[in-house]
Amino acid sequence: MTPESQIRCPISNKPMEHVFSETVLGKHLVKYFYCDESGLLKTEPPYWLEEAYQDAIADTDTGLVARNISNSGMLEAVLECLGIRDGKLLDVAGGYGLLARLMRDKGFDCYTTDKYCKNLFAKSFEPNAGFQADAMFAFEVLEHIEDPMQFLSEIFEAYGCHTILFSTLVFNQRVPPRDWWYYSFEGGQHISFYQARTLEMLAERLKCNYFMLSPALHLITDRTLTKTSRVILSSNRFRKLYSYYARFKRRGKSKTWDDHLKMKDQLRETRPST
């Protein structure tokens, strides 16, 4: 067990303050630490994660399908605003591959990767050696990461990309009350919690810009956004309207049938000849 005096913030590198303890997974008394410099709130080193990830997708995540459908529509607007229409996209920690499949159905060249979860919906669309992305997504990921600085640095380098759209619910007060649902004490998978200023500091250290699209949706990028793009992206209503425009522009570009043919060819190649 790491002594309290050695718990340091992975973003500011400053010592963190023990602010409370809580029972996780119904059995582990876990300490939570806060950094005044960055605003990051995190657990002690998470020794219970193997137990928490016995099922990669938590049983309590009943919004999985609805969230992926919503995210696929939102991404149409964001990618159009960023001018990323035909590049390669990567869903980091993409779970069952549902979002990648939805994005490919909309005509985007999207791939997925997740070391904890089996890819069910986008088989064969995983990054190979040397894969370079034009944009990445990480939905419901950063709250699962012990060191967000290391995580983002590594994927930025691995995939040659400095644009990532991600979701995580930020808090405003110094430390949220114990009944904040996002702690998810019963699941044990949420170990890091952020304020907007935390993510801004994180982006600065990565030599990127940070944009909060909503309290739960964020963009870190080295791209420059126009004033018009910022207005569109900062409003859920405008994003929805703009997604219709982006969808209209992409009509007829779905990869559903082409992917079907590709999978048939792969099956033929793997079958033994008779």
Residue pair 233/163 in contact by the 8 Å Cβ criterion: no
Q: Is 166 a member of any domain?
A: yes
Cα dihedral value 250, 212, 151, 66, nearest 10: -50
φ/ψ of 167, rounded to 5, equals -115, 140
* CATH at 235: 3.40.50
Low-confidence ranges of the chain (pLDDT < 50): none
Residue pair 198/149 in contact by the 8 Å Cβ criterion: no
Which among 98, 127, 82, 80 has a CA at the least distance from the CA of 219? Answer: 82
How many structural domains is the chain composed of? 1
Q: What is the pLDDT of residue 69?
A: 94
Largest CA distance in the chain: 68
pTM above 0.85, yes or no: yes
Q: What is the pLDDT of residue 5?
A: 64
- The parent domain of residue 129 ranges over 70-170+202-264
- Return the residue matching tokens 């250290």: 205
Q: Is 47 a member of any domain?
A: no
How many Cα atoms occupy the beta-carbon half-sphere of 245 within 13 Å?
Answer: 11
Q: What is the pLDDT of residue 53?
A: 86
Q: Is 220 a member of any domain?
A: yes
Q: Is 10 a member of any domain?
A: no
pLDDT tens for 159-204 read: 999 999 999 999 998 899 999 999 999 999 999 999 999 999 999 9
For residue 94, the cross-strand partners are none
Q: Is 2 a member of any domain?
A: no
Q: What is the pLDDT of residue 27?
A: 96
Q: What is the pLDDT of residue 68?
A: 94
φ/ψ of 123, rounded to 5, equals -60, 145
Q: What is the pLDDT of residue 182?
A: 97
Q: Is 113 a member of any domain?
A: yes
How many Cα atoms occupy the beta-carbon half-sphere of 56 within 13 Å?
Answer: 12
Q: What is the pLDDT of residue 89?
A: 98
Q: Is 52 a member of any domain?
A: no
Q: Is 107 a member of any domain?
A: yes
